[in-house]
């Protein structure tokens, strides 16, 4: 009796079909950490803690930056990428730290006031011993409750948000 082609294909694929679930289970799954709607985040370069708002609607993280100075600035913010920048970051307790770094991007951000271009710098944000370096956009957030807004760029791949976490510790 001659075996049909579909039967031969089935016999060839049978080991793959049987082993695939076993291989998938044996891969290590990275456990994501759960953060609340607000968290204390340490900005490593500034050696400063911020009470941060976790905002899944924000694509990028934003920090309260004041006294921004750029060497040989161009009026076109995108032309300043790659230049040295100095600035002060200020947390909610009005603690201030001076930083000097390089501009790594200029990002157009849409908000209630319209569209604005913001500089981006690399910062390492630490939460409960976990360090993650991302590009953070600079904005004067002095009139806002939270001087650090954590966006999806920091959350992605490592964290999930549970708004019930830290619920009793809000002030």
pLDDT tens figures, 129-155: 999 999 999 999 999 999 999 999 999
Q: At residue 60, does pLDDT exceed 60?
A: yes
Main-chain phi, psi angles of 11, to 5 degrees: -65, -35
Q: How many CB atoms lie within 10 A of CB 152?
A: 16
Mean pLDDT of the chain: 88
Residue range 31-45: mean pLDDT, rounded = 95
Res 59: pLDDT: 93
Q: Is 24 helix (H, G, I), strand (E, B) or coil?
A: helix
Res 171: pLDDT: 39
Res 47: pLDDT: 97
Choose the weakest-confidence range: 8-22, 25-39, 92-106, 109-123: 8-22
Q: How many CB atoms lie within 10 A of CB 40?
A: 14
Q: At residue 91, does pLDDT exceed 90?
A: yes
Res 170: pLDDT: 42
- Split into its structural domains, the chain has a count of 1
Bridge-partner residues for 130, per DSSP? 127
How many Å apart are CA 157 and CA 144, to the nearest integer?
28
Tokens 């002095």 locate to 142
Q: At residue 25, does pLDDT exceed 70?
A: no
Residue range 35-46: mean pLDDT, rounded = 97
Is residue 79 in some structural domain? yes
Is residue 136 in some structural domain? yes
- What sign has the CA pseudo-torsion 115, 120, 125, 131? positive
Rg of the Cα atoms in the chain: 23
Is residue 15 in some structural domain? no
Res 139: pLDDT: 95
Residue range 91-113: mean pLDDT, rounded = 93
- Its domain, for residue 58, covers 33-169
Is residue 3 in some structural domain? no
Is residue 11 in some structural domain? no
Q: What is the CATH number of the domain that holds 43?
A: 2.40.70.10
How big, in percent rounded to 5, are the helix, strand and coil portions of the chain?
20, 45, 35
Tally: H helices and E strands in the chain:
2, 11
Q: How many CB atoms lie within 10 A of CB 67?
A: 12
Residue range 40-60: mean pLDDT, rounded = 96
Res 112: pLDDT: 77
Residue (of 32, 52, 47, 62) closest to 170 by Cα position: 52
């Amino acid at each position: 009796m001659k075996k049909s082609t579909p039967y031969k294909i089935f016999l060839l694929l049978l080991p793959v079909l049987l082993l695939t679930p076993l291989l998938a289970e044996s891969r290590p799954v990275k456990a994501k950490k759960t953060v609340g709607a607000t968290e204390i985040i340490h900005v490593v370069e500034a050696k400063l803690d911020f009470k941060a708002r976790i905002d899944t609607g924000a694509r990028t993280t934003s920090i309260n930056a004041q006294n921004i100075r750029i060497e040989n600035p161009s009026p076109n913010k995108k032309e300043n990428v790659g230049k040295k920048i100095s600035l002060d970051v200020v947390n909610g307790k009005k603690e201030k730290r001076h930083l000097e770094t390089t501009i790594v991007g200029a990002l157009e951000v849409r908000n209630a006031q319209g569209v604005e271009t913001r500089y981006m710098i690399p910062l390492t944000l630490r939460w409960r011993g976990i360090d993650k370096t991302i590009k953070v956009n600079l904005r004067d957030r002095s009139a806002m409750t939270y001087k650090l807004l954590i966006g999806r760029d920091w959350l992605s791949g490592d964290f999930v948000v549970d708004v019930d976490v830290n619920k009793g510790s809000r002030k």
